[in-house]
Amino acid sequence: ENNQVIRTWGEKRTEANLRNHVELVQLLGIADLNK
């Protein structure tokens, strides 16, 4: 396939309340995503 995993680092985190990058930007108010 085109996007094969070459290397991984550590274990995948599975705890509750993890946020993705968009949620972090909105929470911290570091970018205006509504423009």
- Tokens 């911290």 sit at which residue? 28
Of 13, 18, 12, 35, nearest to 27 by C-alpha is 18
Segment 1-35, tens digit of pLDDT: 789 999 999 998 889 999 999 999 999 999 888 87
- Domain range holding 7? 1-35
| Cα–Cα distance measured from residue 11 to residue 25, given in angstroms and rounded to the nearest whole number | 24
Tokens standing for residue 9: 């680092």
pTM of the model: 0.49
Residue 26, judged by CB atoms within 10 A of its CB (0-12, 13-18, 19+), counts as middle
DSSP SS3 for 23: helix
**Structural domain count, the chain:** 1
